[in-house]
A and B are shown apart, each in its own frame.
Chain A
């Protein structure tokens, strides 16, 4: 019994010691720290094509990933000096707060609530509402929806926008994306309202549907996020995005990652940030 007790005390002590040692100070220059590590840690999605996903060869790909590699190139001189931290939508805030990543590039829409917890840099993408409908009965104007049923996802911007601005349209609400799109296929509504970026991809993959309205409601922006108060990195990111817009980097990013999914029919200017 005594030996067991000693062993346990020892194990506990070792654990506590191990846990306390790596507590490094945050004060050193953030950019300097990243350069010292030799790696920019970027939180990206691993299962949300075409923004952030993992391809057949196990490589991270997508619009956000393309940008991440460029940031590493400009900061550290090598596009491969980026460490991808695969993140879930729900933990995008914690991941920078807990210093597990330097920047979040995960299709992160800027909202007031989120801006209280993280610092957003300048936007690199736009998102607005769109409305998709069967090509046989296309909806090209909101007025056509009067007296018809419109499919939305509960709690999304689409739900909020139509409840507030168009009470005359009857909404059919679903929890999951898959359910909502299946409902459209089954004809439970005349059209579906969702983020235009998502609709473009879906319509392209599903024959017989069009995004009749591709720009509606308030324009939201998507921006990189850093830990609250990390002014140095934030300033660098802002300058970087400004520079990239100037050299039409996002047009190239769009062509490489989004065009194959959206097709030629979508106007890139509804999605990317330009001057």
Chain B
């Protein structure tokens, strides 16, 4: 692979590129899903190809192909230079990259039990067992359970001399029970919605979820939601569980702190950010209880790696420190805009995509509360779990989230269940209303395997550590 990578790079340099890198990615995946007692899908796939990225005439060019031969790699290098020269027809300031060391190494992620070696029969049996347990609840009319596995082997080289190979394995899954009656559709999921939970690792990850053991509770809660009261509209103190708070961090801290978004590169698609470079070290993003890190070294997180797709080593960096904005997620190009070096957030979702600034494991650091104490400390509030819907504006300010389930809190007690709870807010005001974060005992890394960004759309595997936290004076029951 090394020879192919450098064949592409050298061809680009011969054609006049000032910088070139190339990535060969060989990936495979497997998905198994069951719905209503029926095996709905057994699917495997593989993808193999090479992408070449160059700077020529001060502009970027990228070309990719599934043909991975010396001749094809050289052709791609030349094609990428031609594309860069077309970019230069509408050029801005010449592209420059922050410095990075050169590395000749490899990195392997954790994997105890190779998930691709575990039989399909065992996976199907697990899903059918969970599915059957959910269908035992009469009100549940639709069930879904699924497992997924992904492995990638990447070979990266650059004209600066780095050559890095990395291999990692990801495993994930989840179950969903849908209760249907009287024109209402109410859903409960475990361990998370929208694809379950995902971690780096092998089949041991799936076994740790205990999907079948959790299935009866999931179905029971879905059924109970049918007779639950609607979430009443109003302004209240809101306690958000770790999984939903992970998505809250994702949408209202992770994306706004992507420096390419701050600089306007994503403006026409997913939008920009309310943040400016000038806000670094100046903006009070949240209360003193809010400290947020971007950490690509969290063991077992799908936001972890040895090196990003620009060859920058994995790092742990602070985005928000005691409420103050102290960092951005950066690339080599964007880091120069804030006179820093890259904190290693550039990843592509395959050989056929350029790397973009992506979240790693972006986490709300734990506080000191227990969840029981936090609820007991709340006179009148709402506790919500598990995302069902999300939306945020093009500057990442006005957001609205809906959750699968909620419970009212009265006089320090969790009381009546409510269905379809939602809440809305403005990002900095919301994070400044945070007055308590639960402890590391409640803190968990939530893998998000479906973060969309960029054009052509790329789907990144990112993660968020979070424990439950409380926010004062939040508007809930919007549009209800």
Partners in one complex: no
